Chain A
């Protein structure tokens, strides 16, 4: 049986805990580690495991449900659902993502990461995504 997907957050990070949870879970969803039908831990259970307030997990689950990833039913936890057709991102959004990627690549280059390595990393991360 394959190991269950894991998420990792840093309580001392300036990024809010709920944002870290959303980002981690979204990566697993996009990469296919969490598939439609997968049951996520209850809000209370995940809050306990991560050592955060249950409102933090609740907010993260609600945001992911708003994006169409999760089905939240009181007393039944969170279930991953099939998203169906997703409208393309707007040109403004695309420009925003381009700027962020540009900043990230610039930071990596300034820390001495070779261009070929950056390209290989981007390629390997996008290959295998559904």
Chain B
């Protein structure tokens, strides 16, 4: 029953499961399952009972997913990995909504008082944002290296691998197939930078803005590393396992970093009315001029889909991604 595909799926399952398991703790103190609660509620008996039940149910879900993965991994290894990631997330989301409906009965009233500093300090991008630019040199350097060694690139080179690292997809040598991925990488990195800048200007002032921008810049560095290695595939053999391990390690770092920030009492949480939050994760408030608002679960920002400007940005983003993918193909 236990085979290598199951062992590969297991860390993904553990990661997804752990993420959903941490949901009750993974939010600012004033929120519990994305509902505004009175001060001290989270350490009370009612909240503990709700969290305890959620944790038990989540543990059962993860155990069932592990059993399912063990059964399926032999026949459908790729599907098993996808299921190992998605099933805990989807089931955990259902459990989250069930717990949220119980917490709603204890929701706290939100003050209608708003304050603002009459200053322009902190409205401009921090100077350290320029550190987002050096990683763009990586795909450019990789492209230059490939161009220099063009004749050494095989006419047919592997571009897709299975979980065991065996090639199961090939491309023929052409500028598009050789440089396409690197162009896509640079485009994705640019998008992430634009999202970070947009978030900085489109969100209310808070220490979270700078923290998220730093996180996005670190992500750009990570993507430059991964994409450059994969981009050199026409010439250099790389280990699939190494890419997977790097990906999981980076994800763990980001989650741990986010957890540390979200539970930091020095990080003030933004006041947004409960009635404009749907399913605990979607904020739709056409009266709020902010494009980005702080998430109630996890660390970071989410879009205010009630703001018309948000849709303009989303439209631009989607058009840009379609253009990039077409370029890469």
Residues of A within 8 A of B (CB): 3-13, 25, 28, 34, 38-42, 44-54, 77
Assess A53 versus B287: contact at CB under 8 Å? Given A4-B121, A41-B123, A45-B123.
yes
| Chain B positions within 8 Å of A47 at CB level | 289
- The reply to whether the CB of B264 lies closer than 8 angstroms to some CB of chain A is no
List residues of B (111-160) whose CB comes within 8 Å of A's CBs.
112-121, 123
| Chain B positions within 8 Å of A42 at CB level | 120, 123
From the candidates B112, B116, B290, name the one contacting A46 in the complex (CB within 8 A).
B116
| Chain B positions within 8 Å of A77 at CB level | 120
Contact residue range for chain B?
Answer: 10 to 19
| Chain B positions within 8 Å of A50 at CB level | 114-116
CB–CB A6/B118 < 8 A = yes
Smallest Cβ distance from A49 to chain B, in angstroms? 4
Assess A6 versus B113: contact at CB under 8 Å? Given A48-B290, A53-B289.
no
Give Cα distance in the complex from A10 to B123, angstroms.
Answer: 24
CB–CB A6/B112 < 8 A = no
CB–CB B118/A8 < 8 A = no
CB–CB A4/B117 < 8 A = yes
CB–CB B116/A54 < 8 A = no
From the candidates B113, B118, B289, name the one contacting A41 in the complex (CB within 8 A).
B118
Give Cα distance in the complex from A12 to B116, angstroms.
Answer: 17
Closest Cβ neighbor of A3 among chain B residues: B117
Give Cα distance in the complex from A46 to B120, angstroms.
Answer: 10
- The reply to whether the CB of B288 lies closer than 8 angstroms to some CB of chain A is yes
CB–CB B113/A9 < 8 A = yes
Give Cα distance in the complex from A6 to B154, angstroms.
Answer: 66
CB–CB A41/B112 < 8 A = no
CB–CB A8/B289 < 8 A = no
Q: Which of B113, B116, B202, B288 has the most CB of A within 10 A?
A: B116
CB–CB B118/A11 < 8 A = no
CB–CB B287/A34 < 8 A = no
| Chain B positions within 8 Å of A3 at CB level | 117
| Chain A positions within 8 Å of B202 at CB level | 48
| Chain A positions within 8 Å of B53 at CB level | none
CB–CB B117/A5 < 8 A = yes
| Chain B positions within 8 Å of A52 at CB level | 114, 289
Could you mark each residue 150-173 of chain B with 1 if its beta carbon is under 8 Å from any beta carbon of chain A, else 0? Answer: 000000000000000000000000
Closest Cβ neighbor of B117 among chain A residues: A4
Smallest Cβ distance from B309 to chain A, in angstroms? 10
| Chain B positions within 8 Å of A45 at CB level | 120, 123
- The reply to whether the CB of B55 lies closer than 8 angstroms to some CB of chain A is no
- The reply to whether the CB of B100 lies closer than 8 angstroms to some CB of chain A is no
